[in-house]
């Protein structure tokens, strides 16, 4: 028989898990790098940039295009890693809820 209080309890659990997931994603930081690590970009699981590091050796006022390419490549790699982290996080949460992992 359908029990409305169970549904409400499940909804509360889902909201708590969503809040935990958001917190986990905000604190999870991944890094993308380019140019052998000369340019590094750190991004958290909410797609917020937390750091950009550029080795002075790659800064050349006459060749900004190379630096721009390195920054773009580092960002692209960091964003790809954020996607991987988000999928991993979703799988963990789904597993905790008893949802089959093959859905992600």
CATH code where residue 53 lies: 3.30.1310.10
Specify the pLDDT at position 101: 59
Domain that holds residue 73: 26-96
What is the arithmetic mean of pLDDT over 7-34?
A: 87
Query: How many of the other CB atoms lie within 10 Å of CB of 68?
Result: 10
State both tokens at 24. 């986990």
What is the arithmetic mean of pLDDT over 27-31?
A: 93
CA gap 62, 29 in Å, rounded: 33
Structural domain contains residue 49: yes
Specify the pLDDT at position 22: 84
Q: Could you tell me which residues are beta bridge partners of residue 32?
A: 41
Specify the pLDDT at position 61: 92
> What's the pLDDT tens digit per position in 68-104?
999 999 999 999 999 999 998 888 877 777 776 555 5
**Where does residue 44 fall: left (phi above 0), alpha (psi -120 to 50 degrees), or beta otherwise?**
beta
């Amino acid at each position: 028989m359908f029990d409305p209080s169970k549904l409400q309890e499940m909804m509360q659990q889902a909201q708590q898990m969503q809040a935990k997931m958001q917190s986990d994603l905000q604190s999870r930081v991944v890094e993308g790098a380019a140019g052998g690590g000369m340019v590094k970009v750190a991004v958290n699981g909410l797609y917020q940039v937390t750091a950009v590091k550029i080795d002075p050796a790659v800064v050349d006022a006459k060749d900004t295009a190379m630096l721009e390419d390195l920054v773009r490549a580092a960002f692209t790699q960091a964003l790809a890693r954020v996607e991987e982290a988000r999928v991993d996080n979703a799988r963990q949460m789904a597993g905790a809820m008893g949802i089959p992992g093959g859905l992600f």
